[in-house]
Chains A and B, each alone.
Chain A
Amino acid sequence: MNTAKIKEQPEVLEAVIIRFVGDSGDGMQLTGTQFSDTSAMFGNDIATFPNYPSEIRAPQGSLYGVSGFQVHIGSVEISTPGDEVDLLVAMNPAGLKTNLHAVKPGHTIIVDTDAFTKKNLEKAQYESNPLEDDSLENYRIIEVSMTSLTKEALKGVEGLDNKSITRSKNMFALGMVYWMYDRSTEHTEDFFNKKFKSKPHVIEANTRVLKAGYNYANTLELIPNSYTISPAKMSSGTYRIIMGNTATAWGFLAAAEKSGLELFLGSYPITPATDILHELVKHKHFGVKAFQAEDEIAGIASAIGASFAGDLAITTTSGPGLALKGEALGLAMMIELPLVVVNVQRGGPSTGLPTKTEQSDLLQAMYGRNGESPVIVIAASTPADCFDFAYQACKLALEHMTPVILLTDGYIANGSAPWKVKSVAEMPEIKNNLVIEVKENWHPYDRNEETLARNWAVPGTAGLEHRVGGLEKDKVTGNVSYVPENHEYMTNIRAEKVQRVQNYIPNIETEFAETGDLLVVGWGGTYGSLHTAVKQINEQGYKKIGLAHFNYINPLPKNTKEVLSRFKKVLVCELNNGQFSKVLSSNFSGIELLQFNKVQGLPFGNGELIQKFKQIVA
């Protein structure tokens, strides 16, 4: 129980954005996660985004060693981790310096003054102490000797060395923020009890510091009031906070169970896709076969082999890895095997910006192979729907006997949001094209009349022995064929097979307006930003602005052209130089597409989107 005095009625806010920053060793990820979990359990909608330093062990106190965690919570729908923050908690000068630009003018910054030593200020390249000059006069600064207060709170707790005492100061900060936003410390206390079960003194220490922070905020006159954010209206059910990459991995687990096939992952570590591998290797209890290969090519090659042998096969990568997989992907397409390739996009080209987000692999996914080699391309749009689209990628691959590229990106892959947990029972059926019995006059390239999917006869099935390969096949027997007409026929049928997927995917629907002045078009991971911006501009009185956000890129939904034609203007917004715009214009002539492109390794900012929309409808 908290010993805090009964506080005054807190001020009610709709949403708030908080960023915790400090040194890599300061435990900012844990602090942020605790705050977001507590808020989610309280009933808020949330979105979070971590910001790790790219160096593995950056020197303490350095500008490039700053680690951050941003949390956006609301009683209203929250679609992104947000841009500018209402509260910054800076555990050291480097954190303050690198994040000050993100704080809304006039808003609050909590600093640990004990960390503002001469040495740390130098490391953060401050010429004078920002707490002592007037550089922060546009903000409300709350100075707290957090390190000393933490030490004070821990007096008398046995078995703690100096280092662990100082390291628990993040819990002091968390306690303060809990008080400020009228949150209970209960969830975090439970967390300590579970996590440190066998170390009672650690539980004791962390709980004490957390409460000390809470009580300190309560008594501190610098914090005149506290705020509260009421629960959001969310449909009832069981929820959990999920990271995009985890959701992707879980989508595969669900698809494997539903389809009754074993899951095989062939993969090679690459940022920011590796967490899918990390997640799937844990799940041997479901029989997942995760194979870390010697390179990207062997990653996809092993998956192709597993698919040939009847597993649900996946390979995961990011941009440069997709380039390496290109030839093998062409083989999978040619031999018409089910295969899911995940590309968690990052800033490119070449090594580019591995830890930053971008949508610049779309054309690579569409066309990055030799020959006429269409594959299905789909994209997830939020951390939580990575689950659905990973599942859908498997379903499409198995039902249509073709590789599927699933595009996500660093922003949604590392971001977290509430996921209404789905039971496998409520997921759609997954059929497959396995042949288990010998049929008379059977051929490996016999096709399903509706989908054009070919047969899937796997080794071990007697009487269906056959050979496949990268050479062109005869349309009936599957034997090698150099006949010109046959090659054209096969080229067309492979394309037609992918095109017919249109019959199995949903139509595109617009949000906010069905017709009007402007249709904002997006795809993939920008959904949160675009949805928020279009919603806000509608609330500002611009009623005729709609949003069409695409998850199915190849093939496009059937009604795409019709939807685009309903609006006077169409603005395609994407984090590249216009790749989806090219895909649209190559499919539909006669529709003028305006573009809003950003290639900074960053998501769209709300302000820049709204400004752009206004400029167009003005």
Chain B
Amino acid sequence: MSEPWFGRPVPRNEDSRLLTGRALFVDDVDAPGMLHVAFVRSTLAHARILSIDLSAAAQRPGVVAVFSAEELGDFWQHGPLLVQPPPIEGLVFNQRTQPLLARDKVRHVGEPIAVIVAENRYIAEDAAEDVWVEYEPLDAVGDLERALEPGAPLVHEDLGSNISAHVVQKKGNYEDARARADLVITRRFHYDRGVSAALENRAYVAQWNARQRELTLWDTTQAPIPIRNGLARMLGLSEFQVRVVAPFVGGGFGPKIMMFYPEEVLVPWLAMKLEAAVKWTEDRRENFFATTQERGQVHDAEIALTRDGRILGVQDRFLHDGGAYDPYGLTVPINSQCTLLGPYVVPNYASEFTAVFTNRTLVTPVRGAGRQHGVFVIERLLDIAARELGIDPVEIRRRNFIPPDAFPWDNEVIFQDSAPLVYDSGDFAAVLDRALEIIGYDTFLREEQPRLRAEGRHVGIGVVAYVEGTGIGPYEGARVSVETDGSVSVATGVGTQGQGHFTTLAQVVADPLGVDVADVRIVTGDTREFRWGTGTFASRGAVAAGNACHAAAVAVRDKIVRLAADILGAPPDDIVVANGHAGVRGDAARRMPLGELAARANPLRGAVKPGTEPGLEATAYFGAERGATASGVHAMIVDVDPDTAMVKILRYVVVHDCGRVINPLILDGQIHGGVAHGIGNAFYEKLVYDENGQLLTGSFMDYLLPTSLDVPDIETAHHETPSPLNPLGVKGAGEAGVIPGGALFAQAVENALAERGIEIREIPLSPNLLFTLLVEAERRP
């Protein structure tokens, strides 16, 4: 038996296409007579629309059609609610989803008001400038606390308040715990907004074949199947008449999920209406205003502990900035609420949040999806408690870890997938120890830090832990087929945005089928190839689609064995499937290539046994009762210049447990990218809005993505605690790198500047903010 593909650092099957410029991205799609779209967008955050004058735009040569809400007629509608709120007692959720085009009122800068269709994009944009919109400006809702005060301007006037949702989750009795505590720490924490900044902006190309009555939409979505289903409903078509293709997608990171963005619905509608191919590609400026964002929250948190640092309870009340509409339900704040519990025994927990409508771009999950905030709050509280109690920050974490023999561990709260938050597995202390060993924690504190400090340098270390609920349901599926040339084709419903599905899923099926990974062709994100599934999000591709591929491959292997046993005249137990052949164990001469077996499995003449299914093909589905629990520890050493408030990262270590590793090369890549994103969120990236709801950092000149000079080399190690909830034992890894970034920056920078006595309670910690904290600390008596 050759070495298994599972677990090997195989280079990727998809790379040669991407490296030669021959991979298809949505904006690459071309069609004869294709029309191009531009949107007229609100220039104000909050205003009544008094009038819209399309006449000049309609008359511009090259313009084909112009629509505002009024011209959409019966098709004008609000987008669907994408995620139902979980079944939590007393939950309040006020559904206000985005309209296709604003009518009467605009609620954030960039909200689409009118759509122009023209012969090319240049003309469409010229015509968008011709549209005259008369507004009555209204006060904008931005600050989360002021939004809830009486008399505040209302984003949705019919609602009577700016409350999008209110949720309380409790475990035990926090008040009792607090009464027993030796130490109670109370703090307010802020976490602000950023963009996902996929390098590819959104794009949609739709083609309506009027003769065959078939619609094809090329869509930069992470979830083509839900988009197909929803569009069919909205456009009055059967699901079989709609094909949604998510080809290569240039980064997802959350906002490309099944959003039913206005542009995503209008482009196919226009294609049908105008009986033409229609394309819209977002530009970067639009991306800053019209693609969803994340991360604005304010937490008032409290932790109660014994004097030896054991957590008795945590209380957290937070406000969540939901933006102007709430189509994605409560996923982000629920993730914050649940992820706060981390890898720790928290016997009593009282958490309450209010999601607030604001006159800002919509908030939906962005890599991490609210988990950052929870990790930031609990890790900061533990850091402050450790300082107050005179306990080493690593030690206080260790004392509170859930022990490895305590799984499954019920947190007694409801998670984003509507299931109870029960951790399936983990070994938090082992992960911590490995991280400490790699970064040399003791040596750093004992020798390096004193030596460097004596040289006048401000070096510090941070170590934070987190848990990530991954691989949530409901399910994914896959169809695995052996073709007559001996190659294997796999179709699955998830889309791909760089995660390496063409390789990892190939590794999963190559082992049971005894073929080379290079001979496995994976198709993702084409609803014509696979009809069922939900999408790529929540670090679930490897868990859901991976296990579905595995199950289908095992079923095909069974077919191969049965057929080969018949043909070769040997008992099934003696059939070996390896090296592209099925053969009889111990008899090298009696074997048959898989391609030939595939041909024999699809006879053109003669009778077959009743009940025989043709082909070496099987379809299987996988859904776990709940998600798989990934966990990790990040450790970082920084060198801070207190004069410039710049932070240089000297070392960054990630030890991560995502269960069994399919491909360490790809896994490390996922971690590297996540860490870079986390560094950006923690220190560089910030969406700054003024009091009128205008974004001041709406370009890559103003909004700073980390560059190759800002992201250090990241040292990774993996601890494997297989998930007991799926046959492959895998857990998700896509978001692990990004989650603890803020908490880690805060701890390491504080440690570096220990003598200055600053306390970091806000992320992003820009050089500006750090400088302000240093000046304030100096002024304090």
A and B: partners?
A: no
